[in-house]
Structure 1
Amino acid sequence: MTQRRLLVLDDEPEFCEYVRTVAEQEDYLVETIQDSRKFQELFESFDPTLIVLDLVMPDMDGIEIIRWLSSKERPIHVVLATGYDPRYAIMADKLAMGRSKNLKISPIAKPVRVDTLRRILQKTQQSGEETR
């Protein structure tokens, strides 16, 4: 079985550590980053199977990251987390669908409950086994 690798990009360190704790219990190898400008470099070196991405960040927002991810040739699953109006996540999903067939977006509202996060991680793990 391939090691599941989760990359978390969020400007809130507490949220990153929360996701790390839950994901490691689901057997994910986890890297977190708060600096959206350094995300691309870490993405390339870590090669995640799943990304948890904050939609609203100070330097580069989630929409810009999604645009960049949509240029990738391999399948990428992004859990898009937002504490703002959930319509932002829906717009980001539509943007991704229009730009790439390889990019799948799953929106999630903050605050994220442990059981909800576990369910998403488990579901992504199962679907990832089918595509890799």
Structure 2
Amino acid sequence: MSEKRALIIDDEKLFADFVRQVAEGMDYEVRVTDQAEAFKSIYKEFDPTVIILDMVMPGVEGIELVNWLAEEGCSSRIMVVTGYNPNYVDFAKTIGSARGLVEVQSYTKPISLADLRQALS
């Protein structure tokens, strides 16, 4: 297994594909899903070093997954992204940090190629 592993959960296929391609180009092993239950299963077996997490998806709110990750004792870097109100990602960042998550970064969509590469570095 690669030492750089990215887990992406996003319901916007084009955005998820963009992140996947950039991460793979930076030598990440990548897994992508748009389903919360699949995300949880992949997380447990894949042990990602970075998680790219959309905040607003059908069927699950990103904040629910942030809370779940905290309960799991997640030590991955977490990149919270949204195309909606940026205050929502800041809220998730605050909650994640308060719940003991190591590193939670927030980004708004669209994210530039340069910013994404920097975030994954």
TM-score, normalized by the shorter chain, greater than 0.5? yes
Give the number of equivalent residue pairs: 120
Unaligned runs of 5+ in 2: none
Q: What amino acid does structure 2 have at the position aligned with 1:75? A: S
Q: What amino acid does structure 1 have at the position aligned with 2:106? A: P
Name the structure 2 match of 1:24: 24
**Correspondences of 1:1-132 after superposition (within 5 Å):** 3-100=3-100, 102-122=101-121
Q: CA deviation at 1:3?
A: 1.9
Q: CA deviation at 1:74?
A: 4.6
CA contact (8 A) 1:81 1:108 kept: yes
3-state DSSP class of the match of 1:73? coil
CA contact (8 A) 1:70 1:103 kept: no
Structure-2 change in CA distance of 1:77 and 1:84 (3 Å): same
3-state DSSP class of the match of 1:69? helix
Q: CA deviation at 1:88?
A: 0.5
Unaligned runs of 5+ in 1: 123-132
Q: CA deviation at 1:91?
A: 0.6
3-state DSSP class of the match of 1:68? helix
Q: CA deviation at 1:73?
A: 2.9
3-state DSSP class of the match of 2:120? helix
How many percent of aligned residue pairs carry the same amino acid?
35
CA distance in 2, matches of 1:111, 1:53: 14
3-state DSSP class of the match of 1:7? strand
CA distance in 2, matches of 1:70, 1:117: 24
CA distance in 1, matches of 2:45, 2:22: 23
CA contact (8 A) 1:36 1:61 kept: no
Q: Which runs of 4+ in 1 moved over 4 A?
A: none
